[in-house]
């Protein structure tokens, strides 16, 4: 499958073709499963306002008297048309509770200024994002509604390869679409098929099926023939970007934990084992002269102050299970860890020099502690932000920036940032509006890098340049 690509299909519309799988003789199970789930799947529409790409002194050139003189109202009209809200993508979602909690893919809601949810009976609601997790490509959204149809949560661990499943979603905007297939594989990591490159998300342990999925299916339901949710559809693997027989869903073993964390803590509680590793291969077995085991995770390094260090793991060990779950490949160890929280005690089974060992240890968070962490908020920085005025931007000869206002005790003040400092970039990312600061802040706080620092570059209204490192310490 050289040249194949991984496609996320919640935000684009493209042609597709597929031959339907042959169904078994018992059609009634398929019909019952479809009828019991189609009302529990919704359409999710992502709206945003296109931004002008041409800037003049930090703002749009439209509305500037100089340009108005030469171009008149035509340019103003173009600006007004450009500022109209537009549909930038569509996907699907699955109703989890009667009062309106819905799970979908993070890439379906990413960048949205407004989310619209359409039920199967065409009722329409605006939705808010409760929380999202780019690492698993999951997001939890909420609508204000009552007595909604809920798809019961199933256990993806019970799925068997060869078992029939249904994919329910809204491909190309067609509502209530059901396709069927079998479970082709479990614990599939798409990074392995790409030689470790172009991974869809930071955590991958997919259910692979041959149920046809296309643009708009992202965030939809994968259900078993009992009508239970066993996965959230997320991606396809194809040479053309069109469906080609390989579809992938995030298992409910991960979905349930991510959703529960977002609802309870506002963010996903990510447990860290503290190793660098590679899946065991015949080549690695021969190279390292490994004995007693032919499948597992080869420990290439152990991080200080980690659960792995506490358990006594060393370079060269082969981890074969975590809490009794096999860790034969990257996807399996990621899925096993994704179910855990910091502070949880786990048992590790590993081989060293052909001998089997079993040790227990307490999982840590990304900062090396065992505490659960609360969701970060940009207000924790101890200040507010405003877009730099057009006049000041022209005076300083800058095209973008946000200005620090109302600074109080907090990380910004501790770093030495003073009132009215203009931030032009954070961690080398261009900053043009307050929302940019919030987005970067959230990415850093929710990310897996233990060094949570915002590197600010900018200048004061006097023209004096400034560089600051703002440490975002976790609780």
3-state secondary structure of 285: helix
For residue 444, the surrounding DSSP H or E stretch is helix 434-446
What is the distance between the alpha carbons of residues 228 and 462, in angstroms, rounded to a whole number? 63
Token digits of residue 230: 């066993």
What is the distance between the alpha carbons of residues 21 and 18, in angstroms, rounded to a whole number? 9
Contact 210, 184 (CB under 8 A): yes
Which of 148, 44, 165, 169 lies closest to 96 in space, CA to CA?
148
**End-to-end CA distance of the chain, in Å?**
46
Q: What angle do CA 423, 425, 429 make, to 5 degrees?
A: 155
For residue 82, the surrounding DSSP H or E stretch is helix 73-82
The reply to whether 184 belongs to the active site is no
Distances in Å between the Cα of 171 and the Cα atoms of 23, 91, 149, 153, 243 are 21, 8, 20, 23, 11
The reply to whether 126 belongs to the active site is no
Helices and strands: H and E segment counts in the chain: 12, 27
Catalytic, out of 16, 60, 92, 107:
107
**DSSP state at residue 359:** E
The reply to whether 218 belongs to the active site is yes
Token digits of residue 33: 């499963």
Helix segments in 235-319, DSSP class H: 252-265, 282-288, 307-311
Catalytic, out of 92, 201, 218, 306:
218
Catalytic, out of 110, 133, 137, 210:
137
Positive or negative, the Cα torsion across 278, 281, 283, 289?
Answer: positive
Residue reference for tokens 């939705």: 127
Q: How many residues does the chain have?
A: 475
Residues classed as catalytic? 107, 137, 218
């Amino acid at each position: 499958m050289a040249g194949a690509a991984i496609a996320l299909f919640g935000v684009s519309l493209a042609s597709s073709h597929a031959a339907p799988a042959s169904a078994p003789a018992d059609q009634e199970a398929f019909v019952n499963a479809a009828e019991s789930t189609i009302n529990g799947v919704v359409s999710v529409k992502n709206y945003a306002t296109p931004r002008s790409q041409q800037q003049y002194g930090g703002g749009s050139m439209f509305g500037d008297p100089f340009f108005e003189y030469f171009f008149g109202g035509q340019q103003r009209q173009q600006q007004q048309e450009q500022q109209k809200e537009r549909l930038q993508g569509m996907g699907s979602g699955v109703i989890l509770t009667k009062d309106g909690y819905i799970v979908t893919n993070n890439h379906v809601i990413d960048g949205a200024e407004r989310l619209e949810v359409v039920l199967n009976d065409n009722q329409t609601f605006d939705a808010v994002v409760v929380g999202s997790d780019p690492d698993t490509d999951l997001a939890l959204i909420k609508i204000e509604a009552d007595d909604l149809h809920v798809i019961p949560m199933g256990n993806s661990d019970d799925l068997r390869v060869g078992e029939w499943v249904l994919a329910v979603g809204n491909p190309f905007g067609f509502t209530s679409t059901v396709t069927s297939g079998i479970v082709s594989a479990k614990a599939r990591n798409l990074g392995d098929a790409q030689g470790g490159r172009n991974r869809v998300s930071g955590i991958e342990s997919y259910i692979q099926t041959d149920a046809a999925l296309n643009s708009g299916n992202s965030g939809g339901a994968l259900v078993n023939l009992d009508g239970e949710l066993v996965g959230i559809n997320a991606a396809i693997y194809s040479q053309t970007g069109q469906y080609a027989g390989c579809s992938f869903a995030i298992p409910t073993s991960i979905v349930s934990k991510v959703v529960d964390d977002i609802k309870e803590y506002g963010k996903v509680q990510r447990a860290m084992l503290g190793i660098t590793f590679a899946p065991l291969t015949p080549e690695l077995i021969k190279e390292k002269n490994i004995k007693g085991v032919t499948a597992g995770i080869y420990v290439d390094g152990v991080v200080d102050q980690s659960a792995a260090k506490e358990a006594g793991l060393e370079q060269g060990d082969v981890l074969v299970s975590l809490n009794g779950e096999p860790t034969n490949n990257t996807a399996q160890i990621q899925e096993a860890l994704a179910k855990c929280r910091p502070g949880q005690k786990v048992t590790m089974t590993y081989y060293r020099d052909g001998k089997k060992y079993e040790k227990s240890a307490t999982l840590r968070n990304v900062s090396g502690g065992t505490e659960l962490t609360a969701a970060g908020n940009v207000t924790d920085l101890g200040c507010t932000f405003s877009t730099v005025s057009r006049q000041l931007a022209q005076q300083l000869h800058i095209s973008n920036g946000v200005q620090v206002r109302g600074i109080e005790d907090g990380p910004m003040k501790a770093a030495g940032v003073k009132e009215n400092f203009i931030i032009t970039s954070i961690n080398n990312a261009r900053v043009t509006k307050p929302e940019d600061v919030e987005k970067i802040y959230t990415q850093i706080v929710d990310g897996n890098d233990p060094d949570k620092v915002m590197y600010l570059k900018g200048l004061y209204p006097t023209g004096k340049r400034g560089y600051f490192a703002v440490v975002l310490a976790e609780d």
